[in-house]
Structure 1
Amino acid sequence: MRAARLSKPGVVEVSHVAIPEPGAGQVLVEMHFASICGSDVHIVFDEMHNPDRLGKPGYPGHEGVGVVVGGESERFPPGTAVLTVPAGDRGGCFAEFQVVDESQLVQLAPGADLRRMLLAQQLGTTIFAMKKFIGRRERPRVAAVIGAGSAGLFFLQQVIRLGCEAVVVSDRNRERLAAAKQFGATETVLAPCGSVVDAVHELTGGFGADLVIEAAGYDACRAEAVEAVREKGTVGLFGYPERRGSSPFPVERCFRKSLTVEWISKTQAESGLASFRAAVERIVSGDIEVDHCLTSMHELDEAPMAMQLARDHGGGAAKVGFVLAAGAAELQVEMTNGDEL
């Protein structure tokens, strides 16, 4: 099979490798589509990788969708379409085939649009995050989202559906901010020339937002989130760490403002993979729009370029992903049948 892999820090290579064999409790999935997570960018370029996984086929990809083609599973027999949701440090979906534990699969309906279902992985992590960000607290009247990639735009759609009256969104890319406007952002801020903190304070008369979600993965953005939120408000930290070990964080400001700060990880460990299942349902129902995340899809052989593109904020795209060989065949059938892509 063809597989991309992180051969050494900062270097992604594509080559032919043996198709893996599933063990007990595992299945072999022929991957159709995969996408690059922000955490993958940190893993590749910021030495956040798992040393034991360096050089493994498909690593660090963990956002994927495909069809089961092997294994002894009664729950997922061959021909079953699945969303693959392994933990980030166990992913291998940047390859034409991937072995996945049964416990890390979500079954999809026969005939499901696998391109759109691909986004259920990223959407699921944001649904899981919103459960913690909101909890039993009052729903926010004013919110801010820092980072308008796929996760940030999913957060934006969710807070609007919660009845949030005003949402400020910031990003470094004009195209992403244009998408945020289309999804209902009250105000957008182009960083770094504009300040999300100033925009929120101006909108609220200096009071601050009830909820600020950091979805970019940078220390400076986490500090902005603390400054933009109101006293006794909630800061939701979704972005991946920039580095291993300690990082700067405005602890005193959090203390003085009496903030609730929620950190998000381990959606894959949630009982029953509930948030991923909810994501599938919300995509199928049309409650959450995902097509904007499918505009920058590439062949697997372009993996080094695609990873650099993701590092450069997608070149304006909300998401960067891959069409594997099986996915390309699926798209060709759709084109032959006259379906709209």
Structure 2
Amino acid sequence: MPQQVRGVIARSKGAPVELTDIVIPDPGPGEVVVAVAACGVCHTDLTYREGGINDDFPFLLGHEAAGTVESVGEGVDSVQPGDFVVLNWRAVCGRCRACKRGRSQYCFNTFNASQKMTLTDGTELTPALGIGAFADKTLVHAGQCTKVDPSADPAVVGLLGCGVMAGLGAAVNTGGVSRGDSVAVIGCGGVGDAAVVGARLAGASKIIAVDRDEKKLAWAADLGATHTVNAGEVDVITAIAELTGGFGADVVIDAVGRPETWKQAFYARDLAGTVVLVGVPTPDMKLDMPLLDFFSRGGALKSSWYGDCLPERDFPMLVDLYLQGRLPLEKFVSERIALEEAEKAFHTMHAGEVLRSVVVL
């Protein structure tokens, strides 16, 4: 039987979010109902609320989540009721041209649940990133569920579902940071600080955190940055060069996603170094740069989609590292809040007062 539960929705562009009753259908073929234990408040959810993704209102917000499988639909054998899972928005198909070439992290045909969750009047909801986890329960595709060690704190490991994985993967997977590398991270919010953690995990010898906010620079230092640069006080490119023997960093990660920060990343890298763009630009942003500079500096210019992760490969490994005390994921949880506090959490996040607020159910 369909279930009626609580959920946080964005009914129209820019309007405050609402806690209301929603209807979760029984899982169909390939689908799973998950009882949500915790869900992080991500900037992407705010972007949905502001109409920055699309206009398919009303949205069921929330996507950085962990919980327990409650029921499964026909043909589901990857998870079963009682499994503790982290939700992901890259359920790879295994059949597209990327998957067939062994590059499933670029899957071009990812899965979501086929059925729609609705309001009690039958209005169909659009789940954020195909998940919609600001709710007591949610309906997802089985491939969006990744089993991890059930002893892990759901408020902590659920953050792997988006922001933490995006930043950490930008360093480890996309940037290919390795032992002894110098790394600079521009923008030290949740994603940027996760890139700092990833660089440290990979064995970087020098990790330079760049931001205009001293509070964020302090967060980055606590998470493993060896040096900090206040972009409001000094020239970023010069400062990074001075910290790397005049050469520039081996890998520079732009976690802001603006033309000016991307240019800083480009010119702050060593010859043949790597730039990774993980901050998301808006459609109106453009670059105007000499083409000769691209040729003469060599190296690699990469964009990182979801940290180029494979959830079934990366999530269990990272959860294990967290449980071993080798990955400080718990430091990303700034506060634990109730479901009805989601709107307040957006304001707290926008003000830069937290790394992550996490809704705990």
Q: CA deviation at 1:125?
A: 3.0
Partner of 2:360: 323
RMSD of aligned residue pairs (Cα, Å): 2.5
Unaligned runs of 5+ in 2: 91-127
Partner of 2:145: 105
Structure 1 pair 15/249, CA: closer, same or farther in 2 (3 Å)?
farther
Range moving further from structure 2, 23-32 or 168-177: 168-177
Partner of 2:342: 303
Supply the AA of the counterpart residue of 1:123.
V
Partner of 1:335: none
Unaligned runs of 5+ in 1: 325-341
Provide, for residues 251-295 of structure 1, a one-character-per-residue CA deviation record: whole Å limited to 9, x for no partner.
634344223111011568x65632223322222222210122112
Partner of 1:184: 224
* Within-5 A mapping of 1:124-273: 124-129=165-170, 130-134=172-176, 141-241=181-281, 243-244=282-283, 247-248=286-287, 250=289, 252=291, 253-266=293-306, 273=312
Structure 1 pair 250/104, CA: closer, same or farther in 2 (3 Å)?
farther
Supply the AA of the counterpart residue of 2:53.
H
Partner of 1:35: 40
Secondary structure of 1:148's partner?
Answer: coil
- What is the distance in 2 between the residues matched to 1:251 and 1:12? 44
Q: CA deviation at 1:236?
A: 0.9
Q: CA deviation at 1:235?
A: 0.4
Partner of 2:31: 26
Provide, for residues 126-161 of structure 1, a one-character-per-residue CA deviation record: whole Å limited to 9, x for no partner.
4443222118xx755321011222222222122223
Supply the AA of the counterpart residue of 1:134.
G
- What is the distance in 2 between the residues matched to 1:283 and 1:167? 20
Supply the AA of the counterpart residue of 1:80.
D
- What is the distance in 2 between the residues matched to 1:296 and 1:83? 19
Supply the AA of the counterpart residue of 1:259.
G
Provide, for residues 183-222 of structure 1, a one-character-per-residue CA deviation record: whole Å limited to 9, x for no partner.
3322212332343323202212432111101112333222
- Among all aligned residue pairs of Structure 1 and Structure 2, give the percentage whose two residues are the same amino acid: 26
- What is the distance in 1 between the residues matched to 2:30 and 2:223? 41
Provide, for residues 83-124 of structure 1, a one-character-per-residue CA deviation record: whole Å limited to 9, x for no partner.
111256313012221111100111123333222222332333
* Within-5 A mapping of 1:37-76: 37-45=42-50, 47-52=51-56, 54-57=57-60, 59=61, 61-72=62-73, 73-76=76-79
- What is the distance in 1 between the residues matched to 2:307 and 2:140? 16
Range moving further from structure 2, 188-197 or 295-304: 188-197
- Residues matched between the structures, number: 314
TM-score, normalised on structure 2?
Answer: 0.78
- What is the distance in 2 between the residues matched to 1:91 and 1:245? 28
1:50, 1:89 within 8 Å by CA — same for their partners in 2? no
Structure 1 pair 123/200, CA: closer, same or farther in 2 (3 Å)?
same
Structure 1 pair 110/203, CA: closer, same or farther in 2 (3 Å)?
closer
2:236, 2:264 within 8 Å by CA — same for their partners in 1? yes
1:143, 1:212 within 8 Å by CA — same for their partners in 2? yes
- What is the distance in 2 between the residues matched to 1:216 and 1:272? 24
Structure 1 pair 246/29, CA: closer, same or farther in 2 (3 Å)?
same
Partner of 1:287: 326
Supply the AA of the counterpart residue of 2:23.
I
Structure 1 pair 77/164, CA: closer, same or farther in 2 (3 Å)?
closer
- What is the distance in 2 between the residues matched to 1:309 and 1:125? 21
Structure 1 pair 246/199, CA: closer, same or farther in 2 (3 Å)?
closer
- What is the distance in 2 between the residues matched to 1:147 and 1:238? 10
Supply the AA of the counterpart residue of 1:276.
F
Secondary structure of 2:232's partner?
Answer: coil
1:212, 1:234 within 8 Å by CA — same for their partners in 2? yes
Provide, for residues 290-331 of structure 1, a one-character-per-residue CA deviation record: whole Å limited to 9, x for no partner.
122112222221212211222222x1x22222122xxxxxxx
Partner of 1:123: 164
1:123, 1:151 within 8 Å by CA — same for their partners in 2? yes
Structure 1 pair 203/33, CA: closer, same or farther in 2 (3 Å)?
same
- What is the distance in 2 between the residues matched to 1:273 and 1:50? 28
Secondary structure of 1:153's partner?
Answer: helix
1:150, 1:318 within 8 Å by CA — same for their partners in 2? yes
Structure 1 pair 218/8, CA: closer, same or farther in 2 (3 Å)?
farther
Supply the AA of the counterpart residue of 1:25.
G
Supply the AA of the counterpart residue of 2:173.
K
Secondary structure of 1:50's partner?
Answer: coil
Among 64, 78, 81, the alignment partner of 1:78 is 81
- Structure holding more helix per residue: 1
Partner of 2:99: none
1:208, 1:228 within 8 Å by CA — same for their partners in 2? yes
